[in-house]
Structure 1
Amino acid sequence: MTEPGGRRVAIGIDESDFAEQAFDFYANNMRKEDDYVILIHTPERYNVMDANLGTPVKRATVLREILEEVRKKVKALEEKYKKKMEEKGIESGKFITRRGDPGEAIVHVAEKEQCDLIITGSRGMGMLRRTILGSVSDYVLHHSPCPVLICKPEVHKK
């Protein structure tokens, strides 16, 4: 995809509805023709070192299977968002996969890509849960090099 001279917008994505709602909010309400959209994804992490998998051969087999599963999930997510970009008329952008903590990855890529805006979804956790578990959107908000838009979960209207 081409790289025009407009805004550089980073959107954190994963397999969740929250990420899809954030993408849709951007596409339906904020998109400008010359925006360059950078979709940032951090694959789920697996801790195979703690698993009791038996022999070294068995561990190697399981590790290969996990890596292949992750590769397939990332490819499917990339294809899903490529299609969504086409449907929304977004012509310029790219998909970046970065390992590690999602919040740190989003901030790092936004800095490196010199983004003008970061958009992320929010799972809507309460304060206690967010304090214990942490929050990607909270991390991004407090460490971002640029403005951040946090899309709250959609509330179904009656």
Structure 2
Amino acid sequence: MASCCAKKVPEREKQVMVVGVDDSEYSTYALEWTLDHLITPSPTPIFKLVVVFAKPSVTSAVGIIGPVVGAPEVFPMVEADIKRTAARVTEQAKQLCINKSVNDAIVEVVEGDPRNVLCEAVEKHHASVLVVGSHGYGAIKRAVLGSVSDYCAHHAHCTVMIVKKPKTKH
């Protein structure tokens, strides 16, 4: 005897994959690789894609170049440049997703240090995977600049995939 009030089984909720992007060819490659290998090959992908750009604060960006005489006058120019970069990077990320028929990707711009921003995005979205590109820095540069991928591998509460761009042969 069939029940007139049978419960509909809820569709399995997609896992979340966060991809960190910046204005480098390495993060663009990581996003492209993710779209090509993990998101679009399946007609029913298991991941919901969240693309995150960590926007530096004006004070941290000015601090990188050192003390600037008349720094307050420089802030608006730096802020405008940061906004342009964020818009360009996120538009490029959206376009890459659309080109691969991923129309439901979430693209976020969050102010802060990329290491913290990405780990916080993992927590916020309950991500099961974080994808970051590798700049391929050597030990000295990594020690001075800090490695976002290394930090995330040790601090993100999920699987971290570090995508390396193949070296071009000359």
Given the two structures, how large is their TM-score scaled by the length of structure 1? 0.85
Contact kept? 1:40, 1:96, Cα under 8 Å: yes
For residues 3-23 of structure 1, give each alpha carbon's deviation from its aligned partner in whole angstroms, at most 9, with x where no partner exists: x92121100101100001101
Q: Which residue of 1 aligns with 2:9?
A: none
For residues 23-68 of structure 1, give each alpha carbon's deviation from its aligned partner in whole angstroms, at most 9, with x where no partner exists: 11111111153421111111244126821027xxxx34x3222212
Correspondence for 2:68 among 25, 36, 51:
51
Correspondence for 2:159 among 127, 147, 151:
147
For residues 55-105 of structure 1, give each alpha carbon's deviation from its aligned partner in whole angstroms, at most 9, with x where no partner exists: xxxx34x32222122112211212111111000111222111112211111
Asked whether 1:68 is paired with 2:68, we answer no
Cα distance in 1 between the residues matched to 2:112 and 2:55 = 8
Give, in angstroms, the shift of residue 130 of structure 1. 1.6
Cα distance in 2 between the residues matched to 1:104 and 1:142 = 12
Give, in angstroms, the shift of residue 118 of structure 1. 0.4
Cα distance in 1 between the residues matched to 2:128 and 2:169 = 32
Cα distance in 2 between the residues matched to 1:133 and 1:83 = 30
Matched residue SS, 2:55: coil
Cα distance in 1 between the residues matched to 2:24 and 2:53 = 11
Contact kept? 1:9, 1:115, Cα under 8 Å: yes
Q: Which residue of 1 aligns with 2:109?
A: 97
Unaligned runs of 5+ in 2: 1-11
Q: Which one scores higher on RCO, CA 8 angstroms, separation ≥ 6? A: 1
Cα distance in 1 between the residues matched to 2:143 and 2:86 = 29
Equivalenced residue count is: 150
- 1:1-158 matches, cutoff 5 A: 5-31=13-39, 32=42, 33-34=44-45, 35-44=47-56, 45-47=60-62, 50-53=67-70, 59-60=72-73, 62-157=74-169
Unaligned runs of 5+ in 1: none
Deviates more, 1:74-83 or 1:117-126: 74-83
Identity of aligned residues (%): 21
Deviates more, 1:86-95 or 1:29-38: 29-38
The one-letter code matched in structure 2 to 1:97 is V
Q: Which residue of 1 aligns with 2:6?
A: none
